[in-house]
Amino acid sequence: MINEILDDLRAESAVLDDLVAPLDDWSAPTPAAGWTVAHQISHLRWTDRIAVLAATDPDAFAERLKTASPDLVDVGAAEPVTLAEWRASRVALEEALLGVPAGGKVPWFGPPMSPASMATARLMETWAHGQDVADALGVVREPTARLKHVAHIAVRAFGYAFLVNGMSAPQEPVRVQLTGPGGEVWAWGPEDAENRITGPALDFCLLATRRRHRDDLAVTAVGDVARAWLPIAQAFAGPPGSGREKESS
């Protein structure tokens, strides 16, 4: 399973690589406040390096965690980065995850994750930051079946989304039924659940990564729990952030 996810991570990274490789200047601002294209790539490289440390030296990672500052994400994103360095960090991450013993977990800022889950999280973040870069460059990316990984991690983070917003996680099940780029249907949760989320997979992923405002997306919710979840859904760990401003009138 991890090999398939790593293949998809490699492909997702290549899409972003193709966007930034031709650029002579990475200083263009992106929709993320205060972040340029360089910040986006630097953050991905920084997270790759931290993930490699977690996968190969858990004790050193634990020590690093003890001294982590509240603004470590912005500090990491501000580090200078080259295309070669980001490419090298991607290779190092893949090798590190493949080297985790069978059944092993990788410690992280939240709960420990399996290597496959870590690879999925890296794919989600690569796709999300790639969206910021694409928006900065005025490029529309072709959605792919790799969106299923992004949607999956968002569904898995259902309870976490409530907790990080200071609420108890509801016990009622939610059916998430999305339409993939090729018209295929991806679904999670019981078919007979009263609470339901439906819509295009791309829109759900844009919502859960906070790359678009809910009102600009064709995602619908039925049921009190589903309606409560939709505005706070997030596929990433950490504070929810402010998200994007509404674009449509």
User: For residue 243, is it within any domain?
Assistant: no
Per-residue pLDDT of the chain (249 residues; tens, 9 = 90+): 899 999 999 999 999 999 999 999 999 999 999 999 999 999 999 999 999 999 999 999 999 888 877 777 778 888 999 999 999 999 999 999 999 999 999 999 878 999 999 999 999 999 999 999 999 999 999 999 999 999 999 999 999 999 999 999 999 999 999 999 999 999 999 999 999 999 999 999 999 999 999 999 999 999 999 999 999 999 998 888 778 888 855
**62 and 133 share one domain:** yes
From 238, 242, 189, 198, select the one nearest 47 (Cα to Cα). 238
pLDDT at 248: 55
Query: What CATH code is carried by the domain that includes residue 18?
Result: 1.20.120.450
Indicate if 106 and 166 belong to the same structural domain: no
Q: Whole-model pTM?
A: 0.95
Q: Per this entry, what is the length of the chain?
A: 249
219, 239 Cβ separation under 8 angstroms: no
> CA dihedral defined by 76, 79, 81, 85, rounded to 10 degrees?
-60
238 assigned to some structural domain: no
Quick one: 120 and 219 in the same domain? no
Roughly what angle, to the nearest 10 degrees, separates helices 201-208 and 147-156?
A: 50
Domain containing 228 — which CATH number?
3.30.1050
Say if 248 falls within a structural domain. Answer: no
Based on the fold, state whether residues 113 and 220 are members of the same structural domain: no
Q: Is residue 241 part of a domain?
A: no
133 and 22, same structural domain? Answer: yes
Q: Do 221 and 196 contact (CB within 8 A), yes or no?
A: yes
Task: Give the count of beta carbons closer than 10 Å to the beta carbon of residue 178.
Answer: 23
**Domain annotation covers residue 245:** no
For the stretch 114-131, pLDDT in tens is: 999 999 999 999 999 999
Residue range(s) defining the domain that contains residue 152: 147-232
> How many domains does one find in the chain?
2
Residue 239 maps to a domain: no
Please tell me whether residues 45 and 133 are part of one structural domain: yes
Kindly state whether residue 71 falls inside one of the protein's structural domains: yes
Q: Tokens 């092993």 label which residue?
A: 104
Tell me if 247 is assigned to some domain. Answer: no
One domain, residues 121 and 85:
yes
